[in-house]
Amino acid sequence: MAEFRMPSLGADMEFGTLLEWRVKPGDRVKRRDIIAVVDTDKAAIEIEVYEDGVVEALLVQPGEKVPVGTVMAIIRGAAEKPPEAETPAVEAAKAPSVHPPPPAQKEEPSAQKTETGPAAAPPTPESKRKERVKASPYARRLAMEHDIDLQSLTPGGPHGSICAADVKQAIAVPKGPFPEKIPPAAPPPAEEIPASAAPTPEKAAGWKDPAAMRRAIAAAMARSNRDIPHYYLQTRVDMSRTLAWLESENRKRSIKDRLLPVVPLLKAVAVSLQDVPELNGYWIDGRHQPQEAINIGFAISLRQGGLIVPAILGADLLCLDELMEALRDLVTRTRAGRLRSAEVTAATITVTNLGDLGVESVFGVIYPPQVALVGIGKTMEQPWAENGLLGVRPVLTATLAADHRATDGHRGAQFLDTLHRRLQEPSKL
Amino acid sequence: MNEEKIEQVIFKLLKRIAPESEPGSLSPDENIRRALDIDSFDALNFFIQLHEELGVEIPESDYGRLDTLAEMRRYLADRIV
């Protein structure tokens, strides 16, 4: 029997608001299924479940704001028996009329039906999904794709804003926008969420208003500057070999399969962390806690302002093509406001790439409780001396901001040195 | 396809990437990426979508020749069959 609790989705998150359940009592869930959407100060996040089981009871209603750690649902492990008397409180509070079926029947769909009672009849496969209404940027995009004049719509969102539902009404899209993402084991509720409890369009869309995001960033960055004694190192990296390799590689590829220069860079950071693992991890409760998994948080700025730093999980284990695909997926979902809980909590280090904007070097502020941030500047043609010869090469400046409680400059220098060397042998990345 | 039609496609795709922008207000020689704050991911997506819409596959080495509206119109008009 597992208690599914309100997760902490950021360094300074104290409360979360449940926006939506993607499951109902009786649903079978698999590890990594998305079972809920939770709103934080920064974003709406899709929450994954970490073990297989059957949803026993949902204890928090959509719209409720609860502290981190609050039990939100009870999930019965796959091997466990259906509930007996050990959960009287849950039974009494949430499902007074439910009688536990005989244990032998628990695997059968009909038994689930009995077990969950009338409040949650299983939906037929074609049952209509409660559409997640989208925020205004998405609404604008939808309207554009379907040639709809936003002016002609009646605003249904808060503060008179037009939400995607308004647009969809106009184009009469019959199903949800992302049906492919519904975990098969967790069909969405068949019944409409009552209007009073339904998420507002703005919230369901993903990103909150800029002021709330600003406050969340402010809290994390103030904490970082208050608590973390940063040290900074920088090195110039000769990118000629990596770029030449990338160019010849991309020439062989159709435009859809091309790699961006940031991909080998990220891979080089990931494998360099294998050599200097102290920079990959956390400082929590006065203790340095390096992590084995290398999950690179990649700072992605949002068009409406603010930034989100979702993680590429296990970045060192991905080949460059997989990394490109993962990054593409992550950027797309970040901008659409559809991130998953693991992606916003699991980063073990952050990479900030401001090279697109012509910035030469980045002196980052570490995202607590991480202990390092790698900054990437623009690759520019610069004079470069090697073997007594002066030439012009594409050069980028890589920086490291690191927590001096966790590591010393010597270790940091080893990291940048390794990074530089890795980028001289791009075909091995 | 004439340059006006090409420009319409360009505007449509730019609007998809930067919904809050007004591509129509770009001047012909303005650097589009800078004006609309388009990062390298969105730039690549733009070229992918351009390929899908117009059938012109742009080699990476030509990216630098496609910074402005005027350059894009010319480049694409020359290559659309």
Tell whether B41 is within 8 A of chain A (Cβ): yes
Tally of domains in chain B: 1
| Predicted pLDDT at A410 | 97
Tell whether B20 is within 8 A of chain A (Cβ): yes
Question: Do the beta carbons of residue A367 and residue A223 sit within 8 Å?
Answer: no
- B39 to chain A: closest CA residue: A356
Tally of domains in chain A: 3
ipTM comes to: 0.86
| Predicted pLDDT at A103 | 41
Same domain assignment for residues A171 and A272: no
| Predicted pLDDT at A153 | 65
Percent of chain B with pLDDT over 70: 99
Are A255 and B51 within 8 A, CB to CB? yes
Same domain assignment for residues A146 and A172: yes
List all residues 6 or more positions away from A336 whose beta carbon is below 8 Å from its beta carbon. A138, A206
| Predicted pLDDT at A95 | 38
Question: Do the beta carbons of residue A228 and residue A403 sit within 8 Å?
Answer: yes
- Ranges in chain A, pLDDT < 70: 1, 11-12, 78-208
Same domain assignment for residues A118 and A137: no
| Predicted pLDDT at A2 | 83
Q: A32-49: per-residue pLDDT in tens?
A: 888 998 888 777 888 888
Task: Determine the 3-state secondary structure of B71 from DSSP.
Answer: helix
Range of the structural domain that residue B29 is part of:
3-79
Are A303 and B61 within 8 A, CB to CB? no
Q: B29-60: per-residue pLDDT in tens?
A: 999 998 998 988 889 999 999 999 999 988 88
Residues of B in contact with A250 (CB under 8 A): 60
Same domain assignment for residues A319 and A414: yes
Q: ∠ CA B30-B35-B39 to the nearest 5 degrees? A: 120
Tell me the CATH number at A288.
Answer: 3.30.559.10
Tokens standing for residue A245: 């390799």
Q: A216-251: per-residue pLDDT in tens?
A: 889 899 999 999 999 999 999 999 999 999 999 999
Please report where in the chains the tokens 């920088």 appear, as a residue. A234
Are A141 and B39 within 8 A, CB to CB? no
Peptide bond into A188 cis (omega under 30): no
Tokens standing for residue A26: 């009786």
Are B60 and A250 within 8 A, CB to CB? yes
Tell whether B18 is within 8 A of chain A (Cβ): yes
Same domain assignment for residues A175 and A218: no
Residues of B in contact with A144 (CB under 8 A): 12, 15-16, 19
Q: Residue type for A7, please? A: P
Q: Is residue B73 pLDDT above 50, yes or no?
A: yes
Residues of A in contact with B39 (CB under 8 A): 301, 356
Range of the structural domain that residue A281 is part of:
213-428
Same domain assignment for residues A302 and A321: yes
- How far is the C-alpha of A23 from the C-alpha of A340, rounded, in Å? 16
Within 10 A of A379 (CB to CB), how many other CB atoms are there? 19
Same domain assignment for residues A104 and A196: no
Tell me the CATH number at B26.
Answer: 1.10.1200.10
Question: Do the beta carbons of residue A195 and residue A153 sit within 8 Å?
Answer: no
pTM of the model: 0.68
Length, in residues, of chain A:
429
Give residues 62 to 81 of B whose Cβ lies within 8 Å of A: none
Chain B nearest CA to A419, separation (Å): 22
Question: Do the beta carbons of residue A300 and residue A326 sit within 8 Å?
Answer: no
- How far is the C-alpha of A313 from the C-alpha of A346, rounded, in Å? 7
Are A141 and B19 within 8 A, CB to CB? yes
Residues of A in contact with B37 (CB under 8 A): 303
Tell me the CATH number at A39.
Answer: 2.40.50.100
Residues of A in contact with B32 (CB under 8 A): none
Are A260 and B60 within 8 A, CB to CB? no
Q: Which of A289, A310, A270, A136 is nearest to A207 (CA)?
A: A136
Are B16 and A303 within 8 A, CB to CB? no
Residues of A in contact with B20 (CB under 8 A): 137, 140, 303-304
Are B39 and A328 within 8 A, CB to CB? no
